Amino acid sequence: MLITFQSQAQEQAAYQQKIDGTKLSFDMQAIPAGSFLMGSKKGNADELPIHKVKLDAFWMSKFEVIWDVYEPFLYRDYEKSNSLTPVPPQVDAVTRPTKPYLDMTFGMGKQGQPAIGMTQYNAIQFCKWIYMRTGVFYRLPTEAEWEYASRAGSADEYHFGNDASKLNEYAWFVSNSEKKTHPVGLKKPNAWGLYDMLGNVAEWTYDEYKPDFYASLGKAEVKNPIAVPDKLYPLVVRGGAYDDDAKLLRSAARKASDPSWKQIDPQIPKSNWWFPEAPFVGIRLVRPLITPTKAEIEAYYNKAPIADY
């Protein structure tokens, strides 16, 4: 088992995370600690009230997680055959998704394209697999972390301002995507070096979707807010996707997961792992600057899935 010692006073910088024993890696951008105003007056009521949020520092993946990195987690034999050294036993033992019956790329392509259609449980188990592979704790962003990173210091509707006509330079969405996902990193990044935060695919957060959550936080500045989920639906995805319009790509726009995303799953219980009708949702990773305790990490990864009837 790899042990990474994380000094809390460490200078935070962007880095590349290599996955030992493979040719795979992914890039992480440093997101500084700070405060921001969360929410917007130009969207739905669930974006109100605008409230002050204070966050600790973290890293966030520069790109959405791509199939290239995700597939060794999905396919055990594929992982073995594509590893340069034997797969460590603790990695081999990770609970893996059931193999999807359908083509989960939906014909939109795979290489360099965002992995899609996974449930939040699936996304968290992927984080666990990365942890087992690297010894570094990765998790999903909280909703507040996601919006903070998306804004990258901007109080406007988009990280580049309020002019939606500029979206074409920064995002794949309904006007330019030809109804499909695109390889990550082809559009311009935001000020913190994050690509495709808006559009391409919406991204999982950890939070339960509560339309009145902001109102429940009170007037004072709130530190590291999170609506810890205790049910299967609705959970929050953020950022809008290739088939969404400009309004849904705003930094403050919130979208809730829905049972209809699994409508055509013919089995009962329905899959804990896949949404056959949500090709618009993917993953972006977060690593907190301060690594939680081993017990906290295990609690995060080992939450049992809620059966879906």
Residues engaged in binding another protein (CB under 8 A):
71, 74-75, 77-78, 81-82, 98-107, 110, 263-269, 277, 279, 309
CB of 82 to another protein, least distance (A): 7
Q: Which is nearer to another protein, 26 or 160 (CB)?
A: 26
Q: How far is the CB of 75 from another protein (least distance, A)?
A: 4
Is the Cβ of residue 23 or residue 99 nearer to another protein in the bound state? 99
Separation CA 297–CA 138 (nearest Å): 9
Looking at the Cβ atoms of 258 and 277, the one nearer to another protein is: 277
Residues 262-281 as b/e (b if ≥16 CB within 10 A, e otherwise) read: beebeeeebbbbbbbebbbb
For residues 207 and 26, what is the distance between their CA atoms, to the nearest angstrom? 24
In the bound state with another protein, the residue whose beta carbon lies nearer, of 254 and 262, is: 262
Q: Residue 114, preceding bond cis, omega within 30 degrees? A: no
Smallest distance from another protein to CB 231, Å = 16
Shortest Cβ distance from residue 77 to another protein (Å)?
5
Which lies closer to another protein via its Cβ, residue 113 or residue 205?
113
CB of 261 to another protein, least distance (A): 12
